[in-house]
Structure 1
Amino acid sequence: MTKDTPQTVSRPAPARATFLDTRFRSRVIVFPSGDVLHVQSGEAVATTAAQIEYLDAHPDFKRLKERG
């Protein structure tokens, strides 16, 4: 007889990346989808894969290494 063991489900980590705005300390980014992202203190936190992809391709933004 085998004992049932709980199965762990592998879930992808939520999309999240912090970017340094190399041009402005404060601005608002409006994405083609209509999403809005605020740059504050020269940083912006993208919370969707589409935002991350867009900012990765933009020359004004540099992705910061995640801490921890």
Structure 2
Amino acid sequence: MASRSNTLVVPQATQALNQMKLEAAQELGVQLPADGYYGNISTRDAGSLGGYITKKLVQIAEQQLSGGYR
């Protein structure tokens, strides 16, 4: 397994992020690799997933800051 340069501030968030990744892939019609290796996924698909996840995380943060997320 390759070393990861990005570590989670809250390690318990791994499951939530993985769930968000699966939901994003379903929404965008991107086939995720069953073995977890993303080296063969197209740059376009990887960018779409990353953009979608970032957009969702920003929405969650905005809701929390406005007091609308519980």
TM-score, length-scaled by structure 2: 0.28
Larger Rg: 1
Q: Which has the higher contact order (CA 8 A, sep 6+)?
A: 1
More helix by share: 2
